[in-house]
Amino acid sequence: MSQILYIVVPCYNEEAVLHETARRLKDKLRSLEEKKVISPESRVLFVNDGSKDKTWEIIAQLHREDPVFSGVNLSRNRGHQNALLAGLMTAKDRCDMAISMDADLQDDVDAVDAMVEEYRGGCDIVYGVRSSRKKDTFFKRFTAEGFYRLMNFLGAETVFNHADYRLMSKRALEGLARFREVNLFLRGIVPMIGYRTGTVTYERGERFAGESKYPLKKMLAFAMEGITSLSTKPIRYITGLGFLIFFVSLVMLVWSIIRWAGGDTVIGWASVICSVWAIGGLILLSLGVIGEYIGKIYLETKGRPRFLIKEVLDSHEEG
């Protein structure tokens, strides 16, 4: 029996690419339906994350013209991760499996076939992993690969060169729904779900149209969000650094006493100034890291909703 697939696509100011994305995804669903791999009830679910352009109007138009397109309109902009979660949770009760991907068509649509095949082979989660970064500039490649290595080093388990292009079964989606974090980092949360996983490699293409929603500044903030949301290792490293500095200070104290006993009482101002600045910088850095964690605790204890849905367009629900 063919199973229902929902392709979840978060959108923020994507009017330039949306029609082409819709065309390619519709063709992909029709191709899989003809092979009797998925059910004709399968859908493309666009999630409007408070776009300022005509993204929602286009989604509504697509839905009116063809029921294969569904839409979720959030009450306001909540960020990529929350928009993606809203789409997955909306699809959870309507599908047997869901694939998440970005609207810019950099993710290879043809990799969907291999993902579904892995699912049919027994995998609950299938990760789309980039085969290479040859098309990236040296700076982009260096920072992106450094991002994944830093995340794993600091205890935030992620899949190398995997973003948010993945397939999740209904069981995996139900598992994801039990994670109640307000500070979302799905790339680190999904591996925690467990179950059988698989990977599909693909060549990532160029953005079809529009501008990237993740410049360097936003990527750095995203990395900080992931590290502080999933791991306490930075605090442990700060503790270790504190012990190291304390040990060095004891050594310096012994050395100063020995110098004083030998009659050498001239203390170099350069070493004092450097020490003061170094310790002061480390203290501020440590306070900043700890402050990040306290801020996250503050937000988690409030229990604010991660997203609010203003409107849902889906032929299943309307029927």
pLDDT at 20: 92
- CB of 47 closer than 8 Å to CB of 84: yes
Q: Same domain, yes or no, for 267 and 309?
A: no
* CATH for 58: 3.90.550.10
Q: Is residue 220 domain-resident?
A: no
Together in a domain, 158 and 27: yes
Q: For 168, how many CA atoms within 13 A lie in the half-sphere containing its CB?
A: 29
Q: What angle, rounded to 10 degrees, do the helices at 170-177 and 186-193 form?
A: 110
Q: Are residues 205 and 277 in the same domain?
A: no
| pLDDT tens for each residue of 83-107 | 999 999 999 989 999 999 998 888 8
Total domains, the chain: 2
* Nearest one of 85, 162, 91 to 128, comparing CA atoms: 162
Residues 245 and 147 in one domain: no
Residue 207 sits in the same domain as residue 117: yes
Residue 54 shares a structural domain with residue 86: yes
Whether residue 25 sits in one domain with residue 146: yes
Domain contains 223: no
Domain range spanning residue 271?
A: 233-302
Q: Are residues 271 and 198 in the same domain?
A: no
Assess if residue 173 is contained within a domain: yes
Residue type, 127: Y
Q: What is the pLDDT of residues 197-229, one digit of tens each?
A: 999 888 876 655 555 555 556 666 666 666 666
pLDDT at position 156: 66
Classify residue 125: in a domain, yes or no. yes
Task: Tell me the mean pLDDT per 10 residues along the chain, length 319.
Answer: 88 91 93 90 93 92 92 90 92 92 88 92 91 65 69 71 87 91 80 89 67 60 66 72 70 67 59 66 73 72 76 69
Confidence at residue 310, expressed as pLDDT on a 0 to 100 scale = 85
The pLDDT score that the predictor gives to residue 21 is 92
- Three-state DSSP class for residue 168: strand
pLDDT of residue 210: 52
- CB-CB contact of 51 with 66 (8 Å): no
Q: Verify that 201 and 245 share a domain, yes or no.
A: no
Residues 199 and 243 in one domain: no
**Is residue 69 included in any domain, yes or no?**
yes
Considering the domain boundaries, does residue 205 fall inside one?
yes
Q: Tell me, yes or no, whether 158 lies in a domain.
A: yes
Residue 266 lies in a domain: yes
Domain match, 253 and 177 both = no
What was the pLDDT predicted at 244?
75
Q: Which pLDDT score is estimated for 319?
A: 44
Say whether both 255 and 128 belong to one domain.
no
pTM of the model: 0.73
